[in-house]
Structure 1
Amino acid sequence: MTLSTGSPPLANRRRGLFVFLAVAYIGMWAAMSPLLASGYRRGDAREETGALEQVCIAAAMLAPALAAILVVRCVERGGRVRDTLALRWTKPWGRAARACLTAFVVPAGLTTAALVIGTFAGRYPFGGVHWNGLGAWAAGAVLNMLVSLPLFFGEELGWQGYLFPRLARDGGRRRLIRAYVVTGAAFALWHLPTLLMGGQYPGRPWYVSVPAMLVSCVLILPVFTWLRLRSGSVVPAVIGHAFVSSVSVGMVKEFADPQATLDPLHMGMAGWPGWTVTGVFVAFLTLTGRLQPSFYTARAISRPRRSANYEPTTGE
């Protein structure tokens, strides 16, 4: 399993990391500047985003991808953008379909487990399952997720396509751990403007929301990386991220008592129930070696070629 193609000089890689982070962060703050200037603040987890908020969020989400493309083409000059950022489909197509399904099923299972834990702990106001409208709600949630996928490519081409592979390149176990932690922290702190406005944790001060976001991102990032490693493509990581940020949030609202106050810090994937189930799953991935690129390289080498188009380095 190869994380990227080409090997730009060390000086170019270091310069590229700096430029990537600078452009991604500046892009985020610039995109959010209209909301920051207007004094916008999200006060309730059920509050819907307005047109201006949606435009600003969409622009911000494109910043990491633009930063990654800029670095690959103009700073590192190490190969084609599509190959370097793993913007490709897993082959054969059956494996691609399974990889995408896994990227959907795993976050759904983690979210369900988090809601169950929150309910039994008395922190999630479970309101029951409304079976009559469940199918329509699920179809609408998945459709909205699919429509928003291009925006999540904007994020994951940066974090999984560029940053994590650069930090983990040619490193041993300690460097790999550092790559997971640093990428997760960079991913979390990139959200700082939205955290200051109560985006992910409405009603919470920054000194609560920022550490909470750090925990959430450092824990969930290995799940997205696992989806990317096992498939050799950034696409499953995009799907997993889109599910966590859209359908998972919708599940918290859908199954809650409609009159109850929702506190993301105590429910769903962004709160301690989600940290618990994600931490257990990441521990499983770690203990079984599935967070190491070498795990997939060994499996690919031992798997016989099944066709002329089969690429042994693209998945599990």
Structure 2
Amino acid sequence: MPLRDRRSVAVFLALAFTLAWLVALPLWFGDGLATPWFPLVAVAVMTTPAIAALVVVFFVERPQHKARTLGLWPLTPARRMFGYAALGIVVPIALVLVALPVGALFGVYPADFVNFSAFRQLLDARAAGADELPISPGALVALQLATLPLAAFVNLLPALGEELGWRGWLLPKLMPLGALPAILISGVVWGAWHAPLILLGYNYPAAAGWLGMTSMIVMCTLVGAVFGWLRLRSGSVWPAALAHAAFNGAAGTFLLFAQAGAPIDTTQATILGWSGWIVPLVLVVVLVATGQFADAGALPRPGPTRTSDAQQ
């Protein structure tokens, strides 16, 4: 990797990690995840990789084609781009959902796929004192599943805040190291970047900090490989952003199928835990074995930097 690119990566990582900690810092001096405005802080943290990428592109590298460098443009060939965008919606939802029966099979996810007892309990708590629900919990579960693809569009902008940095800018910048090293490094970095929230108990509330961080890094590396495949094959950041948005939207579905009153250890169950990593791992192995990461020809070449920068 040229010295110029190493400098850009260092600036990007320093900005992305520092900004994430600065934005999350009020949680550490306040009530942590119990803070009422935690959702706003979490969304703000998600913007920090995009801010870091924009700073590097506009003030450090200054390429001629900035949108192309970030993977925002062009959206051609349209058939390929929209095909991978559709996969970006379907594949993450499938990975999140299939993790649940796999976890149940290994005995680490307390499932209730018939009566939806945990979901019923949640509905009863919310409807306390109100009229009976007009439709059954089973019908509500089906409705929730049917609307999951819409989450890819509802969550798109926050997800783009991350993907513009991780897969939009960083992954192509690491490609001179080789596709697989680039995928692995970007995945590990993505997982480690979550530290300000994970160490407060986000995603892994019952786990020690080191275990939560280790689990998050492994999960992000596997899932990030799928997002990276979408980025490389489509030549665009949009399929990866849709995948990230769909993934986030589907993440809470484990509550629909759980047993009432049974604790869920997310280091073992759901897509966050080891049983949920089995299917993504198999998928990534298949992608590697079939050469899906070997040909990055779909990835647009970044535009040349300004002459004065290229000579530095």
C-alpha contact (below 8 Å) 2:163/2:240 kept by paired residues: yes
Residues 236 and 89 of structure 1: is their aligned pair in 2 closer, same or farther, counting only changes over 3 Å?
farther
Using the alignment, how far apart are the partners of 2:9 and 2:30 within structure 1?
32
Q: Does 1:185 align with 2:188?
A: yes
Q: For structure 1, which runs of at least 5 residues remain unmatched after alignment?
A: 1-8, 43-49, 298-316
Q: Does 1:291 align with 2:308?
A: no
Give 1:105-124 correspondences, 5 Å limit: 105-124=90-109
Within the candidate set 251, 255, 258, 1:256 is matched to 258
Give 1:27-106 correspondences, 5 Å limit: 27-41=19-33, 51-88=36-73, 90-106=75-91
**Paired positions, count:** 277
Give 1:6-45 correspondences, 5 Å limit: 10-41=2-33
Q: Could you tell me which amino acid in structure 2 is paired with residue 26 of structure 1?
A: T
Using the alignment, how far apart are the partners of 1:69 and 1:141 within structure 2?
30
Using the alignment, how far apart are the partners of 1:139 and 1:277 within structure 2?
22
Using the alignment, how far apart are the partners of 2:187 and 2:11 within structure 1?
18
Deviation at 1:254, TM superposition (A): 1.3
Residues 131 and 122 of structure 1: is their aligned pair in 2 closer, same or farther, counting only changes over 3 Å?
same
Residues 176 and 193 of structure 1: is their aligned pair in 2 closer, same or farther, counting only changes over 3 Å?
same
Deviation at 1:189, TM superposition (A): 0.8
Structure 1 residues 254-284: Cα deviation after superposition (integer angstroms, max 9, x where no partner): 1212332222112221111221111111000
Residues 191 and 181 of structure 1: is their aligned pair in 2 closer, same or farther, counting only changes over 3 Å?
same
Q: Could you tell me which amino acid in structure 2 is paired with residue 205 of structure 1?
A: A
C-alpha contact (below 8 Å) 2:204/2:212 kept by paired residues: yes
C-alpha contact (below 8 Å) 2:234/2:298 kept by paired residues: no
Q: Radius of gyration: which is bigger?
A: 2
Q: Does 1:216 align with 2:219?
A: yes
Deviation at 1:185, TM superposition (A): 1.2
Structure 1 residues 54-93: Cα deviation after superposition (integer angstroms, max 9, x where no partner): 1111111111011101101110122322100111364344
Q: Could you tell me which amino acid in structure 2 is paired with residue 259 of structure 1?
A: G
Using the alignment, how far apart are the partners of 1:290 and 1:52 within structure 2?
42
Q: Could you tell me which amino acid in structure 2 is paired with residue 291 of structure 1?
A: F
Deviation at 1:244, TM superposition (A): 1.9
Using the alignment, how far apart are the partners of 2:10 and 2:77 within structure 1?
36
Using the alignment, how far apart are the partners of 1:288 and 1:159 within structure 2?
24
Look up the SS of the partner of 1:265 in the other structure.
coil
Deviation at 1:159, TM superposition (A): 0.5
Q: What RMSD in Å do the two structures reach over aligned CA positions?
A: 2.1
Using the alignment, how far apart are the partners of 2:11 and 2:145 within structure 1?
40
Q: Could you tell me which amino acid in structure 2 is paired with residue 292 of structure 1?
A: A
Corresponding residue for residue 305 of structure 1: none
Q: Could you tell me which amino acid in structure 2 is paired with residue 104 of structure 1?
A: I
Within the candidate set 141, 144, 152, 2:159 is matched to 152
Q: Does 1:266 align with 2:240?
A: no
C-alpha contact (below 8 Å) 1:244/1:269 kept by paired residues: no
Look up the SS of the partner of 1:123 in the other structure.
coil
Relative to the length of structure 2, the TM-score reads 0.82
C-alpha contact (below 8 Å) 1:88/1:235 kept by paired residues: no
Corresponding residue for residue 302 of structure 1: none
Q: Could you tell me which amino acid in structure 2 is paired with residue 262 of structure 1?
A: I
Deviation at 1:168, TM superposition (A): 1.2
Using the alignment, how far apart are the partners of 1:92 and 1:296 within structure 2?
10
C-alpha contact (below 8 Å) 2:46/2:161 kept by paired residues: yes
Deviation at 1:41, TM superposition (A): 4.5
Look up the SS of the partner of 2:37 in the other structure.
helix
Relative to the length of structure 1, the TM-score reads 0.81
C-alpha contact (below 8 Å) 2:152/2:243 kept by paired residues: no
Q: For structure 2, which runs of at least 5 residues remain unmatched after alignment?
A: 115-136, 300-312
Q: Could you tell me which amino acid in structure 2 is paired with residue 116 of structure 1?
A: P
Q: Could you tell me which amino acid in structure 2 is paired with residue 85 of structure 1?
A: L
